[in-house]
Amino acid sequence: MRRIESATLTIWPDEKAMALVEVNLMAPDGKGRHRYQIIYVARGERLAEYRVDLGPSRNFVGAEFRLVGGVHHADGRVELIETVGNLQDWADDFRARPPFIPDPLALRAQLERAVYNRNKERRNA
């Protein structure tokens, strides 16, 4: 399957998909950024792109993300594993989660523990 992309106007929940991404891009009218859901499906020997405008990006607190539904094999073959419907369900779940904000104190404790363990290993070597 060639990696050259084209556009498609229709997708079906039970068809196989290569990936689903949600990204913030400039709106077509040039007035602000919107969140787009982009789904890559097979159309013949090519990947086709299907886009959905989800609305202004300010309405989304979560980060942009990518869900993989297929793999590129070393011999050039592409294997589509997941369906459009599954990827869309996962995207809905992912989008509904609150954003991950790491606890700075927990990160500091992990770093201190890692430095301590490394220094201990060096002393014992």
Model confidence pLDDT, tens digit, residues 68-82? 999 888 998 888 999
Confidence of residue 1 (pLDDT cuts 50, 70, 90): low
| Whole-angstrom distance, CA of residue 60 vs CA of residue 99 | 10
34-86 residue pLDDT tens: 999 999 998 888 899 999 999 999 999 888 999 999 988 899 888 899 999 99
Region 7-28 average pLDDT: 94
Main-chain dihedrals φ then ψ at residue 48, nearest 5 degrees: -115, 150
**pLDDT score recorded for residue 4:** 53
pLDDT of residue 91: 95
According to DSSP, residue 62 is labeled: S
Instruction: Enter the tokens of residue 64.
Output: 């942009």
Beta-carbon count within 10 A of 99 CB: 8
84-125, pLDDT tens digit by residue?
A: 999 999 999 988 877 766 777 877 888 888 898 888 888 887
Model pTM? 0.73
Q: Match 């990936």 to its residue by tokens.
A: 19
Give me the pLDDT at residue 50, please.
Answer: 97
Q: Supply the pLDDT for residue 26.
A: 95
CB 84 within 8 Å of CB 41: yes
CA–CA separation, 51 vs 27, rounded Å? 12
Whether the Cβ atoms of residue 43 and residue 18 lie closer than 8 Å to each other: no
CA distance 111 to 109: 5
Could you tell me if 38 and 23 are in contact, meaning their C-beta atoms sit under 8 angstroms apart? yes
Q: Look at residue 2 and tell me whether its pLDDT is greater than 60.
A: no
Helix (H) or strand (E) holding 22: strand 16-26
